[in-house]
Amino acid sequence: MTNFFRVLHYLSRMLRRPYTDPHRLARYRDKMVKDLVRHAYNCVPHYHRRFKEERVKPSDIAAVDDLNKLPVMRKDEIRQNFNSMVSKRHDIEHLSKQWTSGSTGQPLVFYISESEDDFRKAKHLRGNIDVGQRPRHRWVTITPPFRFTNISKLQRNLRLFAPIPLSVFSSPAVHLSAIEKTEPDLIDGYSSSILLLANEVEKRGTDTVKPKLLFGGAELTDDASRRYIEDVFNAPFYDRYATVELERLAWQCPDKKYHIDADTLVLQFLDRNGDEVSAGEKGEVVCTSLFNYAMPFIRYAVGDVGVPSDEECHCGRTFPLMKVVEGRKDSLAILPDGRLLSPRMFTIAMRMFELYKDIDQFRIVQKKRDLFQFLIKKKGDHLDEEILQTKLESHIRKVLNIDKAQIEFRVKFVDDIPLDKSGKLMAVVSEVKKPT
């Protein structure tokens, strides 16, 4: 449960840091890295073994740059050593079990403590407040149903930073109807949901929706789509770059520059040899979280490609910049009735599936407008394939409101799921050519 006073405490300490003197910020980050590494070595069995194998002692990591003495950790390593990834200082029964979004088709399980979860909420709010959100703004968020309860009773009663949730599975028409009644100051959600909402507003020609701010995330939105959203709503649209396991990594300031959340994490951009790239060059995003202690993430490859920048932002914030985020560009699936669905809706639906824990990896391929193929790699052989197939099809149809007469689902069980045509692991792929 959210401790709202603790969230506000964390938030009050965070709000000034984006303007901190760079040298002071660097000293703060160095100390945080030292403390984290010492904790990981002493309390997390896998990190202890890892440091020993690399012949690195905690005293060898005295500053941010010293993190390069450690190898990059990938999701497969975490999965293979999962039972030794949690800190011995934490009782796993008292931790919150979380899953990543599954955008690669192979979600990652991780744990966080209650205080870390509150810290994450403060991180999330800071980026919003920084561009204009106020405590009592009416705030509508388009989100998965399992996040509806992710707000304290105190927040709701006081109406302080209290989002009004709308299901991501509802149609844009339903979203628009609810938003017209709510008259929000702020609309928040998956970028594709905001885009589809803008399409619905333009189609109806309504001028009743007048938010002050719009926030998107989870999916890469091109410049043309951002301008379109802003034109339709006559309000600024801000993108946030985040992962489920680490929360916000970077956020846009009023000048629309991406500022790295530098006081809560270390973001590195590495080439194929594991060396940091120069400003303006593409590199694999590798992150060290400075607040995850229950299950630390040190030099963790998040699965994206980004571009660091050495520019200074005119907004006055001293947090470093990144120019581009790649690796999350989703293509909308178009159904026979013309309805558009974001790939994110499929991955969310999969996460809500009762047998999700028995699936090691999946890929959903839209072969034709009326044909989707599900490639499923199971965890072991204990589960009957016919049962899984029947329940999965029923679940997806119910959640996404797709009837049998409209679309055919084909489920295929495989030993391994290969990379897609782009050479990446993507959970949802559409092979249907979209109309221009």
**Per-residue pLDDT for 422 more than 70?**
no
**Per-residue pLDDT for 418 more than 90?**
no
- State how far the Cα of 314 lies from the Cα of 407, in Å rounded to an integer: 51
- State how far the Cα of 245 lies from the Cα of 297, in Å rounded to an integer: 9
What integer pLDDT is reported at residue 341 of this predicted model? 76
The fold of 4-117+262-321 is Rossmann fold (3.40.50)
**Per-residue pLDDT for 329 more than 70?**
no
Report the pLDDT averaged over residues 322-333: 63
**Per-residue pLDDT for 158 more than 80?**
no
List beta partners, residue 3: none
pLDDT band per the 50, 70, 90 thresholds, residue 228: confident
**Per-residue pLDDT for 213 more than 90?**
yes
Q: Which residues contact 405 (CB under 8 A, 6 or more apart)?
A: none
- State how far the Cα of 55 lies from the Cα of 242, in Å rounded to an integer: 32
pLDDT band per the 50, 70, 90 thresholds, residue 60: very high
Location of each CATH 3.30.300.30 domain in the chain: 333-430
Report the pLDDT averaged over residues 337-348: 78
Report the pLDDT averaged over residues 120-129: 91
* CA-to-CA separations, 1 to 14, 117, 182, in angstroms, rounded: 21, 9, 26
Report the pLDDT averaged over residues 260-282: 92
pLDDT band per the 50, 70, 90 thresholds, residue 134: very high
pLDDT band per the 50, 70, 90 thresholds, residue 436: very low
What integer pLDDT is reported at residue 199 of this predicted model? 84
List beta partners, residue 242: 248
pLDDT band per the 50, 70, 90 thresholds, residue 98: confident
What integer pLDDT is reported at residue 352 of this predicted model? 84
Is residue 172 within 8 Å of 196, Cβ to Cβ? yes
What integer pLDDT is reported at residue 296 of this predicted model? 96
What integer pLDDT is reported at residue 106 of this predicted model? 67
What pLDDT digit, counting tens, does each position of 6-58 carry? 989 999 999 989 998 999 999 999 999 999 999 999 999 999 999 999 999 99
**Per-residue pLDDT for 105 more than 90?**
no
**Per-residue pLDDT for 327 more than 80?**
no
Report the pLDDT averaged over residues 212-239: 85
Amino acid at 305: V
pLDDT above 70 as % of the chain: 91
- State how far the Cα of 49 lies from the Cα of 83, in Å rounded to an integer: 13
Higher-pLDDT residue of 153, 304:
304
Q: Which helix (H) or strand (E) holds 202?
A: helix 191-204
Report the pLDDT averaged over residues 146-168: 78
Location of each CATH 3.40.50.12780 domain in the chain: 4-117+262-321
Report the pLDDT averaged over residues 201-216: 89
Which CATH superfamily, name and number, covers 333-430?
ANL, C-terminal domain (3.30.300.30)
Is residue 216 within 8 Å of 239, Cβ to Cβ? yes
- Lowest-confidence range among 19-28, 98-107, 214-223, 392-401? 98-107
pLDDT band per the 50, 70, 90 thresholds, residue 113: very high
Q: State the virtual CA torsion across 376, 351, 287, 38 in degrees, nearest 10.
A: -110
- Lowest-confidence range among 73-82, 203-212, 283-292, 340-349? 340-349
Report the pLDDT averaged over residues 242-269: 92
State which CATH number among 1.10.3470, 3.30.420, 3.10.450, 3.40.50 fits the domain covering 137-235. Answer: 3.40.50
What pLDDT digit, counting tens, does each position of 343-379 carry? 778 888 888 888 888 888 888 888 888 888 898 888 8
**Distance separating the N- and C-terminal Cα atoms of the chain:** 46
